[in-house]
Structure 1
Amino acid sequence: MNNQRSFFFNVDWVTVLIYLCLCTIGWFNIHAAVFDDNHPSIFDFSTSAGHQFIFIMSGLVIGTFILLLESRFLSALSPALYVVTILLLILVLVVGRGVGGNQAWIDLGGGFKLQPSEFAKFATCLLLARYLSATNVKVTDPKSFLIAGAIILLPMVLIKMQPDDGSTLVFCSLIFVLYREGLSSYFLIIGGLLIALFVSSLVFNAASVVAAVVIAAVLVVLIVKRNRPLVLKVIIGALVAIGFVFAVKPLYNKGLKKHQRDRIDIVLGLSQDKKHVGYNQNQAKIAIGSGRVWGKGYLQGTQTKYSFVPAQSTDFIFCTVGEEWGFAGSVVVMGLYLFLVLRIIHIAERQRAPFSRIYGYGVASIIFCHVIINIAMAIGVMPVIGIPLPFISYGGSSLWSFTILLFILLKLDSNRMGVIYA
């Protein structure tokens, strides 16, 4: 009895409450996105809303099962879980079903499909946490860094082959886990500068970007001229940056498909959308903007009701929130996500075991990345790459994988006071 009471009070119920709120918001908005006068009930199991209710209920069963597990098993099973997801990612390339141009689904029959890339996220976080928490493993050591990078890179390569660019991009967020564990901030700075150079090289001509790099390098050299090693690094960095600038256009033209380049060009204002490549995004912005401050009211969204926005119950579910609940409702949803991510970081920092802390940062990084990309895509500041909004978008694979991702952390946290060693 005491163990049961201890278990009950040790679970972070604040996080569970946020999870339930987001799932409920998702369920209601999915019903609005697919609403049909012939199927008006939100409990109609022939509709996407009915399916989502089943996913939510089964997700709660999965979450409860995880909370009842012995927490030591989570670390012990992480290599096996990782191997299974890698095998599934290989299998989907052979027998996978194409949806939206991506061969990312395994058909289970009865209208249900499994997306292995979603489950690869928590499996990768678990194995990464296990490896980085091992004795004598330091992310600052080149060998340890390369192994940690390989753990992240392997599922990324397989997912890119589907090709699922959105899920591939999400794995890049795990760099923040490495940063928390001691990776130099120079890696983040260099990554940010490369992104800025990439975008600048697309928007401006190469000569202008090179001139800006040279001017910036000269100014830095003048400031730190007494530090010769640093001056040398700046000069080498400037030369690498200049080489990167000239490589951007060839990489851009050969590395991305035409429809991907068209989407990026439209977002950056490099071309007009004469071929309606940005139709989805334009309709999404119209839907969100038409909601104004308080929204049009539940089930009253015209963009939603008449299916102007494709994939509105999945990738563009935030449009339904914006149109029917307005700016106020959008702020509430974004506030819940912000609270959730901050709560997860708080949970991660209070862990005694490095394994639990590292895993917690993996959870925060993946959820944060999903939210930022999905909302940025919906409001038109990022190109469309297709990525679900955690706990809100329609889909069993997405909801179950995020549930597992979160509830594993809740299980580890509930047992933190009993941890004696890592």
Structure 2
Amino acid sequence: MKNQSVSNNIDWITILIYTLLVILGWMNIYSADITPDSSYIFDINQNYGKQLIFIGFTIILVIVVLTIDSKFYERFSSVFYGLALLLLIGLFPLGKTIAGQRCWYAIGSFTLQPSEFAKAAVSLALAKYLSDPQINLKNFNHQIIGLLIIFVPVFLIILQPDAGSALIFLMFIFVLNREGLPSWYLWTALGAVVLFIMSLLLKPQYVVLISFLSILFHYFNSRKIKRNIIASSIVFILMAGFTISVDYVFENVFQQHHRDRFNILLGKEVDLAGIGYNTNQSKIAIGSGGWFGKGWLEGTQTKGNFVPEQHTDYIFTTVGEEWGFVGSTVLILLFTGLLLRILYLAERQKTKFSRVYGYGVASVLFTHFFVNVAMVVGIFPTIGVPLPFLSYGGSSLWGFTILLFIFVKMDANKVNEW
């Protein structure tokens, strides 16, 4: 088994799905960006021309990633994590500010967003930490270290400020949960989200009353023989305190455009010409596609530039308008197939490091995919999250490619890990 060729064990199903997504991405970027004055597809003054350059460099990246021994990624995972943090810190004195966010390094006419590459670094760091035989996530100290690996880059990204990217990193908690983190962490996070939304919709006293009744119901319906009234009281006090603090945080911590987007999403405001314009136009574009779409390059909403940022965060609207319900479903199935394939490959890994990393890849791609589509169809606030492999941008394409193909390399190398 040691001498078996790694190249013969590359998972071509994953690579095929990846290739299809990249091709579909460029086709829709081309459609969203082409004008009557456009000359040829390699025009680097146009986004579709630049994306071809990004794709060309991506091929080189794939070759490099697959050529390097998979043990290299494990051995230097801490180094990659440290470099990622340094790049995020370096943005504050050296970064370029775009639309109020200091998220990019400017390199000539191109920009590079380090948070896109930090996702692979955090995945590697978590995999390295959790694969240590001495680490047990039932131990509180081990839990704290695992959470710190996630929250340090989250803190740096929030300061940029980039809420969308920070949200993606928070989803690494699913990886910790898969490896033994107590489920109450997830339930606490979910409960905080529910309380937050309820506090925005209802008066605080009503939310506190609902919290009290829910604690009371749980207390008297607990299957445990010994009920802990002190613990129940502490939980209620924390819930009440959190509820009362929501209004202050919402008004003083959130930026105005974040408040506007939440208010529109929750139906508290209607602003179809202002902050709600993007989402409203994207729903119109997707709805106008019908079952089979208007045809590639034939989208009237796309050609009329009614949806801002249609080649980046809102690329799914082009798919919906020009490819219709059927084309959108095919795209969703491709993503679903890729995610299921990654999970399948993760479970068959011979080392814990590779398995944990695989779950990190799946968490990042799923969160990006779900949040982006939910954002475009209006069931999630607009927070600037690209659709993996489809949205325009070199940083996102390269970051997702590195993230995925490191795992492809690990999976191909598992034959040498018996």
Q: TM-score, normalization: structure 2?
A: 0.96
Shift of 1:103: 1.0
Which residue matches 1:361? Answer: 359
Which residue matches 2:87? Answer: 88
- Specify the code of the residue in structure 1 equivalent to 2:377: I
Which residue matches 2:46? Answer: 47
Q: Deviations over 1:136-166 (max 9, x none)?
A: 0112211111111111111111111111111
Shift of 1:45: 3.4
Q: What is the aligned residue count?
A: 418
Aligned partners of 2:2 and 2:415 also within 8 Å: no
Which residue matches 1:268? Answer: 266
- Contiguous gaps of at least 5 residues in structure 2: none
- The 2-side partners of 1:230 and 1:354 are apart by 38
Shift of 1:225: 7.2
Aligned partners of 2:317 and 2:376 also within 8 Å: yes
- The 1-side partners of 2:156 and 2:241 are apart by 29
Which residue matches 1:148? Answer: 146
Q: Deviations over 1:189-240 (max 9, x none)?
A: 1211111111011111122222222222222222227632455433432232
Shift of 1:100: 2.5
Which residue matches 2:304? Answer: 306
- The 1-side partners of 2:7 and 2:151 are apart by 38
Which residue matches 1:37? Answer: 36
Shift of 1:275: 6.3
Aligned partners of 1:225 and 1:231 also within 8 Å: no
Identify which of 113, 117, 129 aligns with 2:111: 113
Aligned partners of 1:224 and 1:230 also within 8 Å: no
Shift of 1:21: 0.5
Shift of 1:80: 1.4
SS in 2 for 1:107: strand
Which residue matches 2:198? Answer: 200
Shift of 1:311: 0.8
Which residue matches 2:246? Answer: 248
Which residue matches 1:318? Answer: 316
Alignment of 1:22-421 (within 5 A): 22-39=21-38, 41-109=40-108, 111-224=109-222, 227-230=225-228, 232-273=230-271, 276-420=274-418
CA RMSD of aligned residues (A): 1.7
Shift of 1:48: 1.2
Aligned partners of 2:2 and 2:416 also within 8 Å: no
- The 2-side partners of 1:319 and 1:275 are apart by 18
- Specify the code of the residue in structure 1 equivalent to 2:157: I
- Contiguous gaps of at least 5 residues in structure 1: none
Identity %: 44
Larger mean CA deviation between 180-189 and 202-211 belongs to: 202-211
Q: Deviations over 1:300-344 (max 9, x none)?
A: 111111111111111111111011111111111111111111111
Shift of 1:51: 1.4
- Specify the code of the residue in structure 1 equivalent to 2:133: T
Aligned partners of 2:158 and 2:166 also within 8 Å: yes
Aligned partners of 1:117 and 1:159 also within 8 Å: yes
- The 2-side partners of 1:4 and 1:60 are apart by 27
> Higher RCO, 1 or 2 (CA under 8 Å, sep at least 6)?
2
- The 2-side partners of 1:21 and 1:169 are apart by 27
- Specify the code of the residue in structure 2 equivalent to 1:223: N
Aligned partners of 1:224 and 1:231 also within 8 Å: no
The 1:274/1:11 distance shift into structure 2, 3 A limit, reads closer
